[in-house]
């Protein structure tokens, strides 16, 4: 499947357009994809092509790996607020510490 992003745009606009593309895929029932490639031409404010460098070397490609699973994903709780998950983790650590202290001080 091809997704076209038209126009001369800023990176902020690119981010928004990619978000819109993913939203549309999800609305179509596409929830998984395999390997994606995005080709673009970096330009300056005047529309002239630029060549990005990192460590004094021309950068032709950027590879992004899939994100690590969050604690919520690992426990099948991805729909729960991150605030609630963080509080649960903090409470579990506090309980473990209190339990350890009870056993070491008795």
- Convert the pLDDT of each residue in 17-45 to its tens digit: 999 999 999 999 999 999 899 999 999 99
CB burial of 71-83 (b: ≥16 within 10 Å; e: otherwise) equals ebeeeeeeeeeee
Shared-domain flag, residues 23 and 71: no
Q: What is the pTM of this model?
A: 0.60
Shared-domain flag, residues 77 and 37: no
- Convert the pLDDT of each residue in 47-91 to its tens digit: 999 999 999 999 999 998 888 776 666 676 666 566 666 666 666
Shared-domain flag, residues 50 and 71: no
Which residues lie closer than 8 Å to 85 by C-beta, 6 or more apart?
70, 71, 72, 77
29 alpha carbon, distance to own chain's centre:
20
- What is the residue range of 32's domain? 1-66
Instruction: Say how many domains are in the chain.
Output: 2
């Amino acid at each position: 499947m091809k997704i076209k992003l038209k126009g001369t745009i800023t990176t902020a606009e690119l981010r928004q357009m990619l978000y819109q593309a993913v939203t549309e895929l999800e609305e179509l029932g596409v929830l998984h994809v395999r390997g994606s490639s995005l080709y673009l031409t970096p330009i300056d404010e005047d529309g002239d092509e630029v060549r990005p460098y990192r460590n004094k070397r021309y950068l032709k490609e950027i590879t992004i790996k899939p994100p690590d699973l969050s604690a919520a994903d690992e426990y099948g709780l991805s729909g729960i607020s991150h605030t609630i998950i963080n509080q649960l983790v903090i409470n579990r650590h506090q309980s473990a510490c209190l339990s350890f202290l009870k056993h070491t001080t008795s």
